[in-house]
A and B are shown apart, each in its own frame.
Chain A
């Protein structure tokens, strides 16, 4: 079947989509957007996190057909041209990227957190990222990066409780 939806602001059609196929597969293999990573295929690792109508979801657990007519934003859609999003910049500067496989999912999930909470507490950051696994176990640097991005996006604001 054909599935048409908006990806990173552009309307795209994926052709020949199998009915049981995931949104993740359609993004990677049919639309050439390999930023979202395929690891566990069961919602355990968060590496495939994308925005679906503005809400972060595991794209491996969305049937591609369910995205018909909807808005999808992937990690590829966070930067503005050559200018990285503050979350991406902070990940680079803090050394929060090791093998890099978990990074796209963590960046989308952290991006969503900072859209909703200006200066999250450590507990809020941990809770928001609880569904994103990093097997290099670089969590401390990842937390540093989210704190730095939050400080840059909302300078002068206090950390929430």
Chain B
């Protein structure tokens, strides 16, 4: 096995172009588990810890750009106001030790349907910046990034550089079902983001389909029928929203839960998170 240690982004892209089979490692919270358990024997590890720019986040032209190496702890401490949905999801990842090492970039690279960052990224229309030496930068909307179970649109010679998310203009919430608060891989999860200026609501479903996905019909329903000036959320509309979100899920039975339970839980979490977000929105509107 090779251990490759580029110190600049250009060097990292060159290494990945020359050795596309090299497995990038950032916090190691997924990659090292597979190596420790002999599930994976990569021919090379590509350590990205030394590429300092990946650990930075910034606001550029009104968009928040989070480097692929920014650990969850930094998302929680620095971005709770700007990206509240992603920060909430980050708080539910593993334990403090895991959050100190794990990154959103790594979560995207692993592309597990249960990854906690995916639902809030989908709900907030995040765009993933990837790059290769040969073809340069590609900007991939989150909704087009997840292709299958642990499969993404990332090409073998590409590396994930950053994720771009517009700062929240409305309330965002994340909800996750698990057996306890810490160290939980989601049984299923749900994220909602209100975009009041567009009179639109974004959604993200986690761990209830082969890939993280949006509940598009549920989003369309709210775009058509949600009255943003009304004092209350129409209970009938809320119910239909929950059912359409549940209908967008396509889960399986596995060790963490049954498909039937997951569908039910998505319905409940969709209604809950939308209610929380709506109540916050009413509070802001009144203020």
Binding site for B on A (CB under 8 A): 1, 18-20, 22, 41-44, 46, 49, 55-58, 60-63, 65-66, 68, 109, 127-128, 130-132
B96, A41: Cβ atoms closer than 8 Å: no
**Pairwise interchain contact B96-A68, C-beta atoms closer than 8 A:** no
Contact B27 A130 (CB under 8 A): no
Measured in the bound complex, the distance between the Cα atoms of B46 and A19 in whole Å is: 11
Q: What are some 20 contacts across the A-B interface (CB < 8 A)?
A: A1-B3, A19-B1, A20-B42, A41-B33, A43-B29, A43-B94, A43-B95, A43-B97, A43-B98, A44-B183, A56-B96, A56-B97, A57-B101, A61-B32, A61-B33, A62-B101, A66-B25, A127-B96, A130-B96, A130-B182
Is A58 touching B97 in the complex (CB atoms < 8 A)? yes
Please give the number of chain B residues whose Cβ is less than 8 angstroms from any Cβ of chain A in the complex. Answer: 31
Q: Are A131 and B25 in contact (CB under 8 A)?
A: no
Q: In the complex, what's the smallest C-beta–C-beta distance from B201 to chain A, in angstroms?
A: 31
14 further A-B pairs in the complex, CB-CB below 8 A; given A19-B1, A22-B36, A43-B33: A19-B3, A19-B45, A20-B41, A41-B36, A43-B94, A46-B97, A49-B97, A61-B28, A65-B3, A65-B47, A130-B181, A130-B183, A131-B94, A131-B95
Q: Measured between alpha carbons, how far is A41 from B73 in the docked complex, in Å?
A: 22
Residues of A within 8 A of B42 (CB): 20
A-B CB pair tally, cutoff 8 Å:
90
Which residues of B lie under 8 Å from residue A20 when comparing CB positions? 1, 35, 41-42, 45
Contact of A61 among B3, B29, B41, B96 (CB under 8 A): B29
Other-chain contact of A63, B3, B37, B181 (Cβ < 8 Å): B3
List B residues 9-40 near A (Cβ within 8 Å): 25, 27-29, 31-33, 35-37
User: CB distance B5 to A131 under 8 Å?
Assistant: no
Q: What residues on B are CB-neighbors of A65 within 8 Å?
A: 3, 5, 45, 47
Please state if B1 and A57 are interface contacts (CB–CB under 8 Å).
no
> Residue B49 at the A interface, CB < 8 A?
yes
Q: A56-B96, A57-B101, A61-B27 are in contact. Are A131 and B182 (CB under 8 A)?
A: yes
Specify which of B1, B96, B183 is in contact with A128 (CB 8 Å cutoff): B96
List residues of B whose CB falls within 8 A of some A CB.
1-3, 5, 25, 27-29, 31-33, 35-37, 41-42, 44-45, 47, 49, 73, 94-98, 100-101, 181-183
Interface centre among A46, A61, A65, A68 (most CB of B within 10 A): A61
Which residues on A sit within 8 Å (CB–CB) of B95? 43, 46, 130-132
What residues of A have a CB within 8 angstroms of the CB of B35 in the complex?
A: 20, 63
- Report whether A60 and B100 are in contact in the complex, using a CB–CB cutoff of 8 Å: no
- Nearest A-chain residue to B30, judged by Cβ: A61
Q: Do B97 and A63 touch (CB < 8 A)?
A: no
A128 to B181, CA, bound (A): 12
A63 and B47: CB pair below 8 A? yes
Q: What is the CA–CA distance of A32 and B210 in the complex, to the nearest angstrom? A: 44
Contacting residues, chain B, for A1 (C-beta < 8 A): 3
- Distance from A150 Cβ to chain B, minimum over Cβ atoms (Å): 17
Complex Cα–Cα for A20 and B36 (A)? 8
**A131 CB contact (under 8 Å) in B3, B27, B33, B96:** B96
Residues of B within 8 A of A44 (CB): 183
Distance between Cα atoms of A65 and B29 in the complex (Å): 15
CB contacts (< 8 Å) of B27 on chain A: these are 61
- Asked if B45 and A131 sit within 8 Å, CB to CB, the answer is no
- CB atoms of A19 and B2 under 8 A apart: yes
The closest CB in chain A to the CB of B99 belongs to A131
> What is the CB-to-nearest-CB distance from A38 to chain B, in angstroms, rounded to a whole number?
10
CB <8 Å contact, A60 and B3: no
Q: Collect the chain A residues with CB atoms within 8 Å of residue B182's CB.
A: 127, 130-131
The distance from the CB of A41 to the nearest CB of chain B, in whole angstroms, is 4
- CB neighbours (8 Å) of A62 from chain B are 28, 32, 101
CA distance A58 to B102 in the complex (A): 11
Contacts of B25 in A (CB 8 A): 63, 66
Q: How far is B95's CA from A46's CA once the two chains are assembled, in angstroms?
A: 9
- In the assembled complex, the Cα of A60 lies from the Cα of B73 at a distance in Å of 19
Decide if A66 touches B1 in the complex (CB within 8 Å): no
Residue B32 contacts which of A55, A60, A127, A132 (CB distance < 8 angstroms)?
Answer: A60
CA distance A56 to B73 in the complex (A): 11
